[in-house]
Amino acid sequence: KELIELRFLCPSDVPKVKQLCSDWFPIEYPDSWYEDITSNPKFFALAAVFRFEIIGLIVAEIKCQTKCNREDQGLLATSLANNSRVVYILTLGVVKEFRRNGIATLLLDNLIHHLTRNESTTDCKALYLHVLTTNLVAIRFYEKRQFKRHLFLPLYYSINSTARDGFSYVLYINGGRPQPTLLYPFHYYNCTIISIMLCNECLFSLTDKFTDYISIVLEALSRISANPCKWTKRVLQVMASKMCRFIPMSATNRNSSPHLASL
């Protein structure tokens, strides 16, 4: 049998990585992103190679927990040092013809081995990612590998101008742990602007002091359970329909999230 080789990405891989990401993910990445993941040491970018062709890759960003986006600020217990780092899996993909052959597992295992066996990464306390709620293949893959569902993220993705729900998943490593609270994973974002969807078509922006109040309510509704349910979605729709009577409509564009696993 011919062996699959593993190697880190380099700048000359940019054209091939662009092609693969275009095939795998419904998101268009800027050129600067490809340049970063193939040259910046803060990224762990590993490729699986067969007959000199890249057939799979994993890209993860190592960063201080204080640099996380708002929705990921509560990953670690507050008792852990503020300079603790976390690792965000941006992409994990395998060429269609080679899927279900353990390549995604091989790539993920190498990332975890790198994070848990090197002295330089012992301060990395959590490995996390975002995934569409409808991406059942990816969800089963990560749950089988001991990742735990952290949060339900309503309307988190923007796919072809349509807002889609997401989950965040986390694997704690090197002694990392979540905040021990009965209300976990509930927490409050100090947002000044939030967007909610009405009938999957219109977006409303809420601002000022009223925004802070609605922010708390929406966070509570979406995080009392990590699982989306008809009750939660119905409440969001009713709230939106009530608020639209006195809040002006505005066109709002959501940023696309970088992670959609293709395994």
Residue 49 lies in a domain: yes
Contact predicate 96/104, CB 8 Å: no
Distance CA 232, CA 177 (A): 28
Global pTM value: 0.70
Residue 110 lies in a domain: yes
Residue 33 lies in a domain: yes
Residue 75 lies in a domain: yes
Contact predicate 201/184, CB 8 Å: no
Of residues 11, 125, 105, the one with CA closest to residue 58: 105
Q: 3-state DSSP helix/strand/coil percent for the chain, to nearest 5?
A: 35, 30, 40
Distance CA 65, CA 75 (A): 8
Q: From its phi and psi, is residue 18 left (phi > 0), alpha (psi between -120 and 50) or beta?
A: alpha
> Residue 123's domain spans which residues?
5-179
Contact predicate 149/169, CB 8 Å: yes
Residue 150 lies in a domain: yes
Residue 138 lies in a domain: yes
Distance CA 250, CA 263 (A): 37
Supply the pLDDT for residue 180: 76
Question: 88 an active-site residue?
Answer: yes
> Among the options 34, 88, 142, 169, which is catalytic?
88
> Among the options 29, 130, 150, 169, which is catalytic?
130
CATH code of the domain in which 118 resides: 3.40.630.30
Residue 196 lies in a domain: no
Question: 169 an active-site residue?
Answer: no
Distance CA 128, CA 86 (A): 8
Supply the pLDDT for residue 158: 86
Collapsing DSSP to helix, strand or coil, 248 comes out as coil
Distance CA 149, CA 151 (A): 6
Q: Which residue type sits at 59?
A: V
Q: What is the pLDDT along the chain (263 residues), one digit of tens a residue?
A: 578 999 999 999 999 999 999 999 877 889 999 999 999 999 999 999 999 999 999 999 999 988 899 889 889 988 887 789 999 999 999 999 999 999 999 999 999 999 999 999 999 999 999 999 999 999 999 999 999 999 999 999 888 888 999 999 999 999 999 987 555 544 433 333 333 333 333 343 334 344 444 555 555 555 554 455 556 556 655 665 555 444 443 333 344 444 555 56
Supply the pLDDT for residue 241: 55
Residue 227 lies in a domain: no
Number of domains within the chain: 1
